[in-house]
């Protein structure tokens, strides 16, 4: 009786089968929850899972609760997008659960209300190290995916700016440098995510790659992407071409087959305007402007083209090494303004900032209960009240530190 009340409150459309599975797999847990349903209004901390799997319907009453990412969606949407520790967690727990948090809800509400006839809006997720910016971005991307948008997701812009094994001088322009491995890898993942759009979008101009290879006007985008995946040498230019095509056609056809909404998500966007750690052949440092991939990405960031959503995640790259935890250092202004980033801020100037912070008590409680449910907190002391207080003290409710602590406890 109580269970019915609970599930009808959370999601009126939950299927019988799902409820049955839930009851089967976590009988004891549900009994404990069932006892407390009467007091859920007074004690909202006891329920940590929601049966609402569709991010479109997530709202404030779902904050702090975990929803499951369907396995098929994870494979398609996030071939490269999730943080490595979260991928390990998915593998261990046999499911991918994401917590619904206020910054992600804010972002999704902006996306729902945005006026798509006007130039694109840029959102920047900023915050302390390990507070969950990438996860919020993933949540928002899942919403876009369920809505059927085309997704351009760069999982970590820092990977394109440092530690590149191969740096070739560009085949098309003399002063630029190519990164074939990164570009072809990204194209492969782009193909996996956006399969169904690739045959519908057509190129608007002819592209000449070498004397013998060219892509004609009017070819489907899939061919362009295949060109980049097969021929590593020109893959960076292919990336540029793909981005250009998407830019031109995003808002073009309002109805009919060609219409699509475009979401651009860049994780670690301050890499685009910082310093690289790559060196040219004469041992001088490379500027980010000289890398083809970065140059094309920067063009995507400018908001003078067709309406679309651009969402960026800022993270603290240079400051990670320094042990300064002064709060003001994590504001996007400082991130962009410090030393070389002046031009970055000017480029991104009208943006909507979304702040991501550590867990509050309710979210922490929810995370703790989730780990208990998944049999992850094994140490007997961590299951007691004092152990919980110790965890709060040691991690300061920071999501990533808590995750690392609970890993070996």
Partner 1 sequence: MAASVRHLLKPWTPSLCLVRWSRYNPYYLDPDPSKDARVPESELSPEEKELQELKTVSPIKAALSSDTSSAFNDPLISKFINMMMQDGNKILARGIMTQTLETIKRKQVEKYHKSPAAKREEIECNPYTVFHQALENCKPIIGLASVQKGGKSYQVPVPLTDNRRRFLAMKWLITECRDNKHRRTHMYEKLSQELLAAFANEGNVVKRKHDLHKMAEANRAYAHYRWW
Q: Which residues bind partner 1 (CB under 8 A)?
A: 88, 91-94, 374-376, 378-379, 381-382, 386-387, 390, 407-409
19/26 with CB nearer partner 1: 26
- CA distance linking residue 178 with residue 97, whole number of Å: 37
Torsion of CA 150, 268, 401, 136, to 10 degrees: -30
Q: Which residues pair with 262 in a beta bridge?
A: 150
For residue 99, the minimal CB distance to partner 1 (Å) is 19
Nearer to partner 1, 84 or 174 (CB): 84
Nearest distance from residue 22's CB to partner 1, in Å?
14
User: 278 or 406, CB closer to partner 1?
Assistant: 406
Q: What is the phi-psi region of residue 354: left when phi exceeds 0, alpha when psi lies from -120 to 50, beta otherwise?
A: beta
Minimum CB separation of residue 407 from partner 1 in Å reads 4
In angstroms, rounded to a whole number, what is the distance separating the alpha carbons of residues 286 and 277? Answer: 7
Q: State the Cα–Cα distance between residues 297 and 272, nearest whole angstrom.
A: 8
CB of 367 to partner 1, least distance (A): 16
d(CA 240, CA 20): 49
| Least distance from partner 1 to the Cβ atom of residue 192, Å | 25
The tokens for 11 are 């999601």
Smallest CA-to-CA distance from 75 within 89, 90, 85 is with 90
Tell me whether residue 92 or residue 277 sits nearer to partner 1 (CB atom).
Answer: 92
Minimum CB distance to partner 1 smaller for 102 or for 387: 387
As measured in angstroms, the least distance from the Cβ of 185 to partner 1 is 24
User: Residue 45 Cβ, how far from partner 1 at the closest point, in Å?
Assistant: 24
Rounded least distance, CB 68 to partner 1, Å? 14
Which tokens sit at 23?
A: 């009851």
Cβ-based nearer residue to partner 1, 234 or 382: 382
Query: Least distance in Å: CB of 408 to partner 1?
Result: 4
Q: What is the DSSP letter of 284?
A: P
Q: Where are the alpha helices (DSSP H) in 233-315?
A: 235-249, 292-301
> Residue 16 CB, nearest distance to partner 1 (Å)?
21
First and final CA of the chain: distance in angstroms? Answer: 37
The minimum distance between CB 130 and partner 1, in angstroms, equals 17
Nearer to partner 1, 110 or 376 (CB): 376
Q: Write the CB contacts of 229 (distance below 8 Å, at least 6 apart in sequence).
A: 184, 187, 188, 191, 235
Between 280 and 379, name the residue whose CB sits nearer to partner 1.
379
Which residue, 27 or 169, is less far from partner 1 as judged by CB?
27
Of 223 and 373, CB closest to partner 1:
373
Other beta carbons within 10 angstroms of residue 92's beta carbon come to 12
**Residues 165-173: contacts with CB within 8 Å, 24+ apart?**
167/278, 167/280, 167/286, 168/233, 170/236, 170/237, 170/292, 171/209, 171/210, 171/233, 171/234, 171/237, 172/234, 172/237, 173/292
Return the closest-CA partner of residue 261 out of 273, 274, 272, 252.
252
Q: In the structure encoding, which two tokens stand for residue 19, read together?
A: 């409820």
- CA 152, 155, 161 angle in degrees (round to 5)? 110
Q: Between β-strands 177-178 and 168-169, what pairing exists: parallel, antiparallel or unpaired?
A: antiparallel
Rounded Cα distance between 289 and 406, Å, is 42
In the three-class reduction of DSSP (H, G, I as helix; E, B as strand; rest coil), residue 140 is classed as helix
Residue closer to partner 1, measured from CB, 281 or 385: 385
């Amino acid at each position: 009786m109580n269970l019915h009340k609970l599930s009808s409150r959370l999601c009126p459309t939950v299927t019988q089968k799902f409820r049955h599975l839930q009851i089967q797999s976590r009988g004891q847990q549900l009994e404990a929850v069932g006892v407390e349903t009467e007091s859920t209004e007074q004690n909202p901390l006891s329920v940590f899972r929601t049966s609402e799997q569709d991010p479109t319907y997530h709202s404030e009453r779902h904050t702090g609760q975990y929803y499951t990412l369907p396995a098929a969606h994870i494979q398609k949407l996030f071939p490269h997008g999730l943080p490595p520790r979260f991928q390990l967690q998915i593998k261990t727990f046999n499911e991918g659960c994401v917590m619904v948090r206020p910054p992600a809800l804010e972002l999704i509400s902006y996306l729902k209300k945005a006026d798509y006839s006007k130039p694109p809006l840029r959102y920047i997720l900023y915050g302390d190290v390990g507070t969950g910016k990438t996860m919020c971005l993933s949540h928002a991307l899942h919403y876009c995916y369920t809505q059927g948008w085309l997704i351009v997701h760069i999982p970590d812009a820092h990977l394109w700016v440092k530690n590149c094994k191969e740096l070739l001088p560009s085949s098309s322009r003399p002063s630029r440098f190519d990164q074939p491995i990164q570009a072809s890898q990204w194209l492969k993942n782009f193909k996996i995510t956006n399969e169904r759009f690739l045959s519908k979008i057509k190129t608007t101009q002819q592209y000449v790659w070498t004397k013998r290879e060219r892509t004609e006007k009017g070819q489907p985008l899939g061919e362009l992407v295949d060109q980049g995946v097969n021929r590593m040498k020109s893959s960076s230019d292919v990336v540029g071409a793909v981005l250009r095509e998407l830019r031109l056609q995003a808002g073009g056809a309002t109805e009919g087959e060609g219409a699509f909404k475009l979401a651009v998500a860049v994780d670690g966007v301050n890499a685009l305007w910082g310093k690289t750690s790559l060196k040219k052949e004469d041992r001088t440092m490379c500027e980010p402007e000289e890398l083809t991939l970065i140059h094309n990405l920067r063009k995507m960031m400018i908001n003078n083209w067709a309406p679309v959503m651009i969402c960026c995640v800022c993270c603290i790259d240079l400051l990670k090494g320094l042990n300064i935890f002064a709060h003001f250092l994590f504001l996007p202004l400082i991130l962009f303004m410090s030393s070389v980033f002046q031009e970055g801020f000017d480029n991104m100037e009208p943006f909507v900032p979304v702040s991501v912070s550590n867990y509050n008590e309710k979210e922490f409680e929810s995370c703790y209960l989730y780990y208990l449910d998944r049999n992850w907190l094994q140490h007997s002391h961590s299951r007691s009240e004092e152990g919980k207080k110790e965890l709060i003290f040691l991690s300061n409710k920071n999501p990533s530190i808590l995750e690392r602590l609970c890993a070996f406890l």
